[in-house]
Amino acid sequence: MAGLGGAIKNMSIGIASSRGKTLIHSAGKSATDIWNNLAEQNDFLESMVEAAKAIADDRGHNIVYINVMNRLSIDCDCSSNPTEPDMHDIGILASLDPVALDKACIDLVYAAPDGQSLIARIEAQNGVHTIEHAEKIGMGSLKYELVELSNG
């Protein structure tokens, strides 16, 4: 539903209790009935970001965010039968800033020669709104510098 499964989505949805997941998906409308109370897409994305920010604010600067960009499917990792990936693995990225990290990952997907399916999913779900809202509420910055580490 988020259009992309980066650090922000995984922190908010991944850490939330079942009740919390329902509150996020309904943008606070229900704690018990997710499917009859789904929020408008941007409201859901903003609710997800705000839940992630609450976790980040609570934990302070003791979080390192890591995105593993392999087997990138257009479907949520909660799906028991996700669509098989149709793009190559990109790599592992890490940052102290979840917004910069997710922005870098999105940019790498857009730069990939075989990222069309995932790009279509991101755009259909307005997934970029996640990082835009996260920057707006002070969770991090859209600016980043990629530093490649070699194993040699």
Q: What is the pLDDT of residues 105-118, one digit of tens each?
A: 999 999 999 999 99
Answer yes or no: is pLDDT of 152 > 70. Answer: no
Please give the model's pTM, rounded to 2 decimal places. Answer: 0.92
Q: Which residues contact 141 (CB under 8 A, 6 or more apart)?
A: 97, 99, 100, 135
Site of tokens 């730069």 = 111
pLDDT of amino acid 35:
81
The pLDDT tens digits for 26-69 are: 999 988 888 888 899 999 999 999 999 999 999 877 899 999 99
- Residue pair 48/2 in contact (Cβ under 8 Å)? The answer is yes
pLDDT at 74: 80
Residue 37: the pLDDT is: 84
Per-residue model confidence as pLDDT tens digits over 63-91: 999 999 998 878 776 777 878 888 999 99
Q: Are 109 and 72 in contact (CB under 8 A)?
A: yes
pLDDT of residue 79: 74
